[in-house]
Structure 1
C-alpha cells in the first residue's frame, strides 16, 4: 500500500509532526511505501527524525534565497479557504492542487483542517482520502469548527485521535457518509532504560504555548517548594511563552529549582530523568507526551482535560488525574499541587503507577496502530490492503502483471554519513558507547584543540560496545570528541549520537580523585555528534544553591564551612570584591554579595559593555577554587540555569547605588560555557533571548 501524509510543515515542531513520524515509520516497517508531503519548508533539516525509508517532499520553499515567497501568488489570498485562515495563499492553493492531481497513491492522509479542505476539494477518487484531527472540536472557535465540519463530508474517512472527539463529530454530522472513528496516536517503545523514580525531579515537555498551561504547573510547584526542598522541576520545549514562564519562575523565587530546558529530541532520554511527569494542559486531543512518559516508566499526573488524558490514564492504576479547572480562572492549581504532593511523598505509589504505565504504553506502539490503520483502509476499500502500490500497480493488475513491489524490491536505507551510536553514562560517570552497526575497531576519544593531541582508545567488542571506565582513565578538562577508528579507514570517523542517556547523572556530585574533583558528562553536539565533557580540577567549589533578591545574591557551595574561608568576585583586571561568608544550618558555606558593592561607576553614563566577575573560594590553607556547577547531567548551563537580573542604579551621584539613579545596568548570576559561576552586569535590556520562530502543526484559531 502506498501512503502519503500531508503535513503543513514537517520542518517545524509539535505533536502532530511527531505522531506522523511515528505512524509513518510503523507503516514502513510493515512493508508499505510511505512518504511525507510538507506544504512548507523553512529550514534544511527536519526537527524530528523521520524513518530513512520515509522521504519528505516540500511544495513551498520558504528558506532564505528561495523564490517562492516573492512569487505574486504567495501574497494573494486563497480562493478556497477563508480570509481569516493563516498560512494559506493562492500559491498554496496552486501547489497543493497540482500535487494532489498527480499523486500516485493508495491512501492520502491530511493532518490539519486546511489540508483536509484541500484534500476534500482537490483530491481524486484514485486514492482514499483520510483526514486526521489533532485538536478537540469543542476547543475551537465557531469559525474553526465550521472549517473542520466543512471538510469531513468530502473525505472517505475522518480519524480524530480520541473517542470523545469522534463522537462529537458524528453528532455534529449525522448525515455524513464519511467513516468517523478514533485512530489514536502512536509512540515507539523507547530504547532508554526505564526511569528509576528516585531522581526527585518533576518533568514536563511540549511546546511552550498558552494551551499547555505551564503557568499552572509552576504555580503548583511553588506551593510545594518548601515542603519538598530537594525536588526540582524541568520543562522541556520551546515556544512563545518562554519569557513569561521565565518571569513567573523568578517571581516565585524558583530560578535555581525550576528550569526551562529548551527543546530536546529524542525526548525519551529526558523523560527517563523524571520521578513524576506532569501534564497540566487546558486541553489535549490525545496526549502523546503522556504515552511517551509512560513508556519510559514515569508515572504521569495530568489534568482531566478534554479529551485524551482520561482515555489514556486509569486514575490510581497507571497514572493520576486531577480536575482541569476553568479557563481563564486558575482553579486547577490546588488540585495539581495536591496530586503532585501525593506522588512526590510516596515512592511506592510512584513505582506501582510506573509499572502499570509501561503496560499501558505498549497498546500504542506504532505496529499496533499501523495495524488499525490497515484495518480502516481495508474496510473502506479492500484492495488497498493487498499490497498494491498506487495507480501503476492497478494498471499492472489489469494486464496480469506482477506488482511493482515484487519486481523491484525496495533498497535498504543508505548508511548514515557518520556511524550512529547509543551512549549511556553510568552512575559513577563511566561511559558505554554501542555502535548501531557493530564493526571491528576502537572507540577513539580525542581532546579538542589540544596541542598535545591527547587521546584515549578502547576496543569495541563483538557486540559493538566499548566502555571508558572512570576508574581506569584520567581525562584532562575539556571536550573529548568521539570517533570510530578501524584498520580499513586511514581517517577515524566521527561518531553520531543517536541516543545519549544521562539519567544516572541527575543529582550526581563531583567525583573526588587524588588529582582533585572530576566530572564527566556525555552529550550530543549541535551537529548531532557524540562528545564527552570533562572537568579535572585540583581544587573545586561545587555550587549547590543560588538565592537572589533585588539587591543580593547568596551562593551555597558543597564545602564545609571553615573559619578563615574567603569568597571574592574578581573582574578582568584582577580587582576583587569580597563576599560575606557564613555557615548554613547544615554546616555548608554560604557567600552573599550586595550588588551595590560591585565596583561600577556611580555616575552616568553607565558602561556600554557587559562586565563579568568570576567567583572564587580561598580556603584557610590558601587553596583557590572557582565556584562552579560541574556535576549532574547538564554540560552547558548557560540557557537552563537562568537567574533573574536585578536593576543596578549606576547614575546615583551619592555613590551608594541605591538611590534614584539612571538604572541603566542590571546584574545577575550567570554560568559560563565551562559551568563556572560569574556575576554579569550588562545594559538594562531584555535578558531573555528571543525564542526562534518555529512553525507548529496547530493553529489557535482554526
Structure 2
C-alpha cells in the first residue's frame, strides 16, 4: 500500500515533523511511504527518516541553488484556502492542488489545518483522506475552528493525539467523519539513560507564549538560592527568545539559566537532565514528555489540557501541578524533586516503562487498523476506491530492495546518508574519566580492515592519531565495533579534531557521520589535571552532521565558576587547575591584555578564596579609561608568579563545546556624551573569557 504524508516542512526539527518522521519510518517497514514537504528550505532533512521513507518537496526555497522559487510572481498572490499560522500563497496552492490531483497514493495524511483544508477540498475519492490534529481545538480562534471543522467533515477520518481533544471534536461535529485518538509515537533512543544526578533541569520546545517558559524561569528563580548547584537549560528556538533572555538577565540568573538553542537529535540533551520540566498552559499531546521518559528523566508538568495527564500518572511516573497553583505551586513541586534523589529515581524508572507504550511499531499498527476500517466502510457504502492491500512477504522484500536503490540516495536525509559507502556513521560517548568511545555502525563501513583516524583541523603540522578498528568480519558482536580514545594513551592537542575511518586496502579516508554524540558524563565534570597538562575532551556533531572532538590541553587553566554583574563592574570567581599541589595565589593578579595596543593593558587584583580559588572585579571605569576605538577587546589572563606563564581564564569544564552562544553575560550600558557605550564579558571560540567595549567615544 502507498501512504503519503503532506507536511509543510519536512526539513526542520519541530514536534509535528518529529512525529511524522517516527510514524512514517514505522509504516515504511510494511508499506511504500512518501513524505511530501510543501517547502524545501535546505538540502537535507535535519531529522532521521527510516529506510524506505522517500522525501520529496513541492517548492524549492534554497537560495543557494539554481532552482530557488521564492521569487516566483505567484508568491505575491493570496491563497484561496483559509489562513493558518504562516499562510500559504498562490504558488503553494497551485503546487499542493497539482500534487493532490496526480498522486498515486492509496492514503494521503495531512498534518496541519490548512493542509487538511486542501485535502478535503481538492483531494480525490480514489484515495483515503486522513487529517491530523497536532494542536487542539481550544488552540484556534472561532473562525479558524469553524474553517477546520468544515474541512474535517469532508475527510474520511480525523486523528487527534489526545483522547480529550477527540471528545471535543466529536461533541463539536456529531455527524462528522470518523474521529479517533492515536498518540504520537516516540521511539526509544539509543542514548544511555540519565542517572538523574546531574543537578540539571531540562525543558525543550518552541519558545512561544503557550509553553510558558516565563513561568518556569520565575519558578526556578524562587527556589534557586535553596539549590545553589542546580542549573536550568531551555532548548528550542522561537519568537520569545529575546523576551526570555531579558527575563533571565533581569533576574540575575544568566549564570544559572541557559538558552541552548535548537538541538537535534534532542535525546542526548534529555539524558543530561535530572528533571524534565513542562510548564505549558496547553499541550496537545506532550511529545517531549515521552522523549524525556524514554531517557529515564522524571517529568514535572502543569496539569494543562490536554496531553500531560494522559501520559503522566501523578507520583507514579512523574508529577502534575494544577494550573491554578500558579508559579508558586510549580516552584514548590520543582523544589521537592530537586531535594529528593530517591523520588527522582523512582519516578524516572517507572517513566521508562510508560514510554515503551508509545513505540512507533505499536502506533503504526493502529493507523493500519484505522485504514482497514475506513476501507471496509467504503466497500459497504459502494464508494469506488482501491482497497488497500497489505503487502505479502515477497512484495515487502521487493519493496525493501527497491527502496535502497542508489538513484534514490538524494532523498536520504543527512543522518542517513551514512548508510552510503561514502558516509560511514558512528555513535560517540564521553566518559567520566575523560575517555571517549566511538562505536562504528557496521552496516555503513567500507569493506576490509580499517583504522579510526582523528586529524587536528587546520593544523600546519598535520597532527593526527590512528586507532585500529576491530575486524567486523570476526567481531563477536557485530553491533559493538568500538574504539576507545583515552587521554593517557592518545593526548589530543588543543583544537577541533575531525574523525574518519581509513581503509587499509585502498588508503581512502571516509569522514564519519555522527548519529549521536553523548556528553552526559561530562556534565559538571572538571578537566583532568594530570602531569604535564590540564585536559578536557568532548565528542560533538558538527553543523554539517559529522563527528568531531573538541580538545583542550594546557599547562594550567583557571576555570570560571561564576560571573555576576553589579552597579560598579563584573565579579568573577574562578578555580586554578594545574598538575601538582595547589598554588598560593597571594601575589597573583589578573591582567586584561589588549588585542589592539599593549598600552591599554590593565591589572585587576584578586582575592584568594581558598588554596586554588580566587575572585576578581572588573570595574566599568577601568574599561572606559582605556577604550579609545570603536571596538576594544581584552583577553583575561592569570599571572601567579614571575616565572610562571600566564594562565587562560575560561570555561572548558562540563559538556558544552561552544560557550559563546549559551553562557551570555548581560552588557553594561554606560551613558556617554554622543552615544551609549557597551561593556561586556564574553567567551571566545576557545571558551576563554574576554572583555569587549563597543562604541567608546574618544
What TM-score, normalized to structure 2?
0.89
Paired residues of 1:647 and 1:663 also in contact (CA < 8 A): no
1:350 aligns with 2:355: no
Superposed, 1:228-627 pairs within 5 Å as: 228-325=227-324, 332-382=326-376, 410-411=401-402, 413=404, 415-416=419-420, 417-437=422-442, 440-461=449-470, 462=475, 463-559=480-576, 562-572=585-595, 573-574=597-598, 575-584=600-609, 588-598=613-623, 600=625, 607-608=629-630, 610-620=631-641, 622-623=643-644, 624-627=646-649
Cα deviation digits, residues 179-209 of structure 1 (max 9, x gap): 1110100111010000010000000111111
Paired residues of 1:556 and 1:589 also in contact (CA < 8 A): yes
Q: Is the partner of 1:378 in helix, strand or coil?
A: helix
| Distance change in 2, residues 1:395/1:667 (3 Å) | closer
Aligned-pair CA distance for 1:586: 9.5
Q: Is the partner of 2:8 in helix, strand or coil?
A: strand
Question: Structure 2: how far apart are the matches of 1:523 and 1:39?
Answer: 31
1:657 is aligned to none
| Distance change in 2, residues 1:391/1:612 (3 Å) | farther
Cα deviation digits, residues 430-458 of structure 1 (max 9, x gap): 01111112653111111122222221111
Cα deviation digits, residues 66-98 of structure 1 (max 9, x gap): 46333343322223x236774223332322222
Pick aligned residue for 2:681 from 654, 665, 669: 669
Paired residues of 2:665 and 2:680 also in contact (CA < 8 A): yes
Question: Structure 2: how far apart are the matches of 1:452 and 1:384?
Answer: 71
Aligned-pair CA distance for 1:52: 4.0
Question: Structure 2: how far apart are the matches of 1:350 and 1:595?
Answer: 44
Aligned-pair CA distance for 1:338: 0.8
Question: Structure 2: how far apart are the matches of 1:166 and 1:432?
Answer: 46
1:134 aligns with 2:156: no
Cα deviation digits, residues 417-474 of structure 1 (max 9, x gap): 3111000111111011111126531111111222222211111223421111222222
Q: Is the partner of 1:350 in helix, strand or coil?
A: helix
Paired residues of 2:52 and 2:400 also in contact (CA < 8 A): no
Paired residues of 2:375 and 2:387 also in contact (CA < 8 A): no
Q: Is the partner of 1:55 in helix, strand or coil?
A: strand
2:412 is aligned to none
Question: Structure 1: how far apart are the matches of 2:670 and 2:559?
Answer: 27
Question: Structure 1: how far apart are the matches of 2:431 and 2:69?
Answer: 50
Q: Which range is displaced more, 421-430 or 471-480?
A: 471-480
1:694 is aligned to none
Aligned-pair CA distance for 1:585: 8.1
Paired residues of 2:116 and 2:151 also in contact (CA < 8 A): yes
Question: Structure 2: how far apart are the matches of 1:197 and 1:409?
Answer: 40
1:632 aligns with 2:654: yes
| Distance change in 2, residues 1:124/1:405 (3 Å) | farther
Aligned-pair CA distance for 1:105: 1.4
Question: Structure 2: how far apart are the matches of 1:622 and 1:395?
Answer: 81
Q: Which range is displaced more, 83-92 or 588-597?
A: 83-92
Structure 1 spans left out of the alignment, 5+ residues: 326-330, 652-660, 685-702
Q: Which range is displaced more, 436-445 or 209-218?
A: 436-445
| Distance change in 2, residues 1:136/1:83 (3 Å) | closer
Paired residues of 1:77 and 1:83 also in contact (CA < 8 A): no
- Runs of 4 or more off by more than 6 Å in structure 1? 390-397, 401-404
Cα deviation digits, residues 619-662 of structure 1 (max 9, x gap): 1464220101111111111001111000134x4xxxxxxxxx44
Q: Which range is displaced more, 403-412 or 104-113?
A: 403-412
Q: Which range is displaced more, 105-114 or 191-200?
A: 105-114
Paired residues of 2:321 and 2:333 also in contact (CA < 8 A): yes
Paired residues of 1:105 and 1:391 also in contact (CA < 8 A): no
Superposed, 1:120-159 pairs within 5 Å as: 120-159=120-159
Paired residues of 2:28 and 2:51 also in contact (CA < 8 A): no
* RCO higher in structure (CA 8 A, sep ≥6): 1
Question: Structure 1: how far apart are the matches of 2:367 and 2:520?
Answer: 35
What TM-score, normalized to structure 1?
0.89
Aligned-pair CA distance for 1:410: 3.4
Superposed, 1:24-35 pairs within 5 Å as: 24-29=24-29, 31-35=30-34
1:681 aligns with 2:693: yes
Question: Structure 2: how far apart are the matches of 1:241 and 1:72?
Answer: 32
Superposed, 1:199-218 pairs within 5 Å as: 199-218=198-217
Paired residues of 2:16 and 2:134 also in contact (CA < 8 A): yes
2:47 is aligned to 48
Question: Structure 2: how far apart are the matches of 1:577 and 1:38?
Answer: 57
Paired residues of 1:104 and 1:392 also in contact (CA < 8 A): no
Aligned-pair CA distance for 1:44: 2.1
- The CA RMSD over aligned residues, in Å, is 2.5
2:191 is aligned to 192
Question: Structure 1: how far apart are the matches of 2:679 and 2:122?
Answer: 58
Question: Structure 1: how far apart are the matches of 2:652 and 2:513?
Answer: 24
Question: Structure 2: how far apart are the matches of 1:394 and 1:160?
Answer: 22
Cα deviation digits, residues 240-275 of structure 1 (max 9, x gap): 111111111111111111001111110000000000
Question: Structure 2: how far apart are the matches of 1:586 and 1:196?
Answer: 32
Q: Is the partner of 2:226 in helix, strand or coil?
A: coil
Paired residues of 1:393 and 1:404 also in contact (CA < 8 A): no
